[in-house]
């Protein structure tokens, strides 16, 4: 019986997949990775998407800081966070008190 090549990963034996002899070392086949044109197109789409998302993010950040409604919104979020922190501290203190009484 022939042994298959592989390696251990996180305590499990994983068999190494055979690389096609037609594929150059370090490269997959077009079937696995798509052709170069598809890859270039996907990279261009990704760059565009990231750029748009950053523009949106900065726009929202600017609106939150520079407008009255934005500052009010932030103040409400901060107040809610403070209330949650206070509640958590109270719950921890109650837990300690109960534990000490036991």
Q: Closest Cα partner for 45 from 56, 33, 37, 35?
A: 37
Residue 71 has pLDDT above 90, yes or no: yes
- Alpha-carbon distance of 5 to 10, in angstroms, equals 17
| Cβ–Cβ under 8 Å, residues 74 and 64 | yes
Q: Quick one: tokens of 39? A: 């890859």
pLDDT per residue as tens digits for the range 13-67? 788 775 444 444 445 444 555 577 788 889 999 999 999 999 999 999 999 999 9
pLDDT per residue as tens digits for the range 5-20? 877 787 787 887 754 4
Residue 78 has pLDDT above 80, yes or no: yes
Per-residue confidence (pLDDT) for residue 51, from 0 to 100: 95
- Within 8 A by CB and 6+ apart from 70, the residues are 63, 64
């Amino acid at each position: 019986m022939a042994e298959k090549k592989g390696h251990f990963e996180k305590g499990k034996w994983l068999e190494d997949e055979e690389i096609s002899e037609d594929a150059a070392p370090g490269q997959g086949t077009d079937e696995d990775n798509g052709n170069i044109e598809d890859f270039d197109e996907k990279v261009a789409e990704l760059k565009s998407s990231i750029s748009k998302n950053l523009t949106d993010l900065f726009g929202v950040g600017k609106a939150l800081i520079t407008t009255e409604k934005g500052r009010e919104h932030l103040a409400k979020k901060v107040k809610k966070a403070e209330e949650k922190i206070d509640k958590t501290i109270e719950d921890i203190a109650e837990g300690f008190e109960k534990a000490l009484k036991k």
